[in-house]
Structure 1
Amino acid sequence: MMSVEGTIRRVNGGAAKLSVAPLEDTSTFKNRAYAALKEVIVSLNIYDQPNEVRLDERQLAQSLGVSRTPVREAMAQLEREGFVHSVPRRGIYVVRKTKREVIEMIQVWAALESLAARLITMHASDEEIARLRQMFASFEEGQDAPHAKLDEYSEVNIQFHQTIIAMGGNGILVNLAENLFTHMRMIRRKTIGEEDRADRSIQDHLAIIQALEARDTAGAEVLVRNHALGLADHVARFADYLE
């Protein structure tokens, strides 16, 4: 996977604009522009931004070192996937989901991930499940608390949920979850440091892993679903920064 870093700059005190590095490889312009822009958007912590983030097609094409056509095509695809939206005579902006939309996404994710957990207990190897526990080795009791290394824990948290879906071994499930999780990744990064979610999160994760190790199909399914719905409840109660 390519590594792309994005920054936000203000222009004349107005809406924020996105800055990206030029593409090193100019093959398959549309696909590479799409991948680069999507990765940058996901990395922006959009829910921490006080203003809308505007995407300047001309500036992005110059930054990426390509013509405006692949950028325009990439923008169209990103708009279909719900990451950006175009406003007539104003431009294209990164989408900030409403509270209702975020909660609905989490509810759907809860259903998908709980199904994946069920499939893991029936089909995954002991070695695959053991790798889930290894993710949290440095955060367990007696080691560094998750809130002490919040950025690191946030990435492990995201990796854990992606791995649960992948380990289910159902290709259709993976495809259904892919873009949904990309949207959720942004809200997970924002919420993990709120209240005491980091500490509670690792306890939930370890309980889920224990149920998977025990091949407790019903228990793993319930634990995964309740963990996701706990995030939905947190958003409903505390995410006042969402409309």
Structure 2
Amino acid sequence: MSDKLKVNMNEYLPLRDVVFNTLRQAIITGEFAPGERLMEIALANRLGVSRTPVREAIRKLELEGLVVMIPRKGAEVAKITEKDLRDVLEVRSSLEELAAELAAERMNDEVKEKLEKALKEFEEAIESDDNAAIADSDVDFHDVIFEATGNARLIQIINNLREQMYRYRLEYVKDTEYHTVLLNEHRELAKAMVEGRKEDARKIMKRHIDNQEMTVIRNIKEEN
């Protein structure tokens, strides 16, 4: 566990949320490795807080699938398995293919501007080589697509999977060789949706998610 655990204090958030956000960020960015134990006392000392907000944060992280409780050992950072990845991406692929198709059908001028802005910010993030920034701008790009559907239920379901998806998203953006492919897929996807090509948008989105799955599985196997 790193000695440098950055706490981003926010006067508008309760301490337990600040601790949760700090630990969550450390997990999804890989500062805490899969399988690493999370000791309440050690974390409390590093964060300069009592054990209570740490314990509450760990429980919340467990609910989101980022932490698992091991009998007689305690909390550990959840490992990324090929089965978990496939389960999450099967669901994500179906939802995002539908979103791409609906977005292409319902695209308006306001959303087109937002999509263009999100694509530009994604390009800038790719150029920066900052993996966290790439992952966040990737989220923003896809959020514009979800918004374009105008389907509140679809957006709600996707948001419920957001945390699980984010961890895998960070895993595939770590592969720098994949960045050019990722950017080109975003460009193709945006063009198809803006031009109202529903079927093309769906196919591009499917290929986009499939490529991510293959990239992460390859990375998992190399790490093991």
Partner of residue 95, structure 1 = 78
Cα distance in 1 between the residues matched to 2:218 and 2:8: 41
Cα distance in 1 between the residues matched to 2:211 and 2:152: 26
The alpha-carbon distance between structure 1 residues 175 and 74, as it changes in their structure 2 partners (threshold 3 A), is farther
Q: Does residue 40 of the first structure (1) align with residue 26 of the second (2)?
A: yes
The alpha-carbon distance between structure 1 residues 45 and 183, as it changes in their structure 2 partners (threshold 3 A), is farther
Note the residue ranges of structure 2 that are not aligned, 5 or more in a row. Answer: none
1:158-169 aligned within 5 A: 158-169=139-150
The amino acid that maps onto 2:79 is: R
Map Cα deviations across residues 146-200 of structure 1 (whole Å, 9 max, x no partner): 4x54325454334322332343333332332235333333333332353742111
Map Cα deviations across residues 108-150 of structure 1 (whole Å, 9 max, x no partner): 111111122222223342221232233344887xxx894x543
For residue 202 of structure 1, the aligned residue among 172, 183, 193 is 183
Cα distance in 2 between the residues matched to 1:156 and 1:145: 7
Partner of residue 126, structure 1 = 109
Normalised by the length of structure 1, the TM-score is 0.74
The amino acid that maps onto 2:88 is: M
> How many residues end up aligned between the 2 structures?
222
Q: Aligned-pair RMSD on alpha carbons?
A: 3.2
SS of the aligned residue for 1:85 comes to strand
The alpha-carbon distance between structure 1 residues 31 and 192, as it changes in their structure 2 partners (threshold 3 A), is closer
SS of the aligned residue for 2:93 comes to helix
Partner of residue 150, structure 1 = 129
Normalised by the length of structure 2, the TM-score is 0.79
More off after superposition, 208-217 vs 120-129:
120-129
CA contact 1:42–1:182 (8 Å) conserved in 2: no
Partner of residue 220, structure 1 = 201
Which has a greater percent of strand?
1
Note the residue ranges of structure 1 that are not aligned, 5 or more in a row. Answer: 1-7, 11-17
SS of the aligned residue for 2:161 comes to helix
The amino acid that maps onto 1:187 is: Y
Cα distance in 1 between the residues matched to 2:162 and 2:56: 23
The alpha-carbon distance between structure 1 residues 156 and 35, as it changes in their structure 2 partners (threshold 3 A), is closer
Work out the percentage of aligned pairs sharing the same amino acid.
Answer: 26
Partner of residue 95, structure 2 = 112
The amino acid that maps onto 1:134 is: K
Q: Does residue 19 of the first structure (1) align with residue 2 of the second (2)?
A: no
The alpha-carbon distance between structure 1 residues 28 and 199, as it changes in their structure 2 partners (threshold 3 A), is closer
